[in-house]
Amino acid sequence: MIVGVLRVRLVMFEALSLKDKRRITKSLKDRLGARHNVSIAEVADLDHRQAATLAIAMVANETRFVESSLSKIVDEIRAFSRASLVDYEIEFV
C-alpha cells in the first residue's frame, strides 16, 4: 500500500474576505475530489484571506500510479483560474 500526500500552497488575489476564500477553495476541492477520488483538507493558513495550504492524499498499490495522479492534480491546479499555485510538495508515506 502506497500513500501519497500532495501539499499545495495557493494564493487567491480576488478573495476579499474569508468567505470568498472558502468559496474558491471549496470549488477547487469539490472539483479535484470528484475527478480524482482523493481526500482533501485545508491544513494551514486558515485565517489568512488570500492564502491557503491544501493537503491532498491518495492511496494505491503502485508508487508510479500515485505519483502520476498527483502530478496531474498539480497541472489541474495550475490551470485553475481563481487561484495561483505558489509551491507544492509530493511525499510518500
Domain boundaries, the chain: 2-92
User: Taking the model in full, what pTM does it have?
Assistant: 0.86
Question: What is the pLDDT confidence band of residue 81, given thresholds at 50, 70 and 90?
Answer: confident
Q: Write down the pLDDT at residue 15.
A: 84
Query: pLDDT, tens digit, for every residue of 39-75?
Result: 999 998 778 888 899 999 999 998 999 999 999 999 9
Count Cα neighbours of 77 within 13 Å in the Cβ-side half-sphere: 31
* Residues 83, 31: Cα–Cα separation, whole Å: 13
- Is a pLDDT exceeding 90 seen at residue 87? yes
Q: Write down the pLDDT at residue 57.
A: 95
Q: Write down the pLDDT at residue 45.
A: 79
* Residues 80, 26: Cα–Cα separation, whole Å: 13
Domain 2-92 is found in CATH 3.30.70.1120: yes
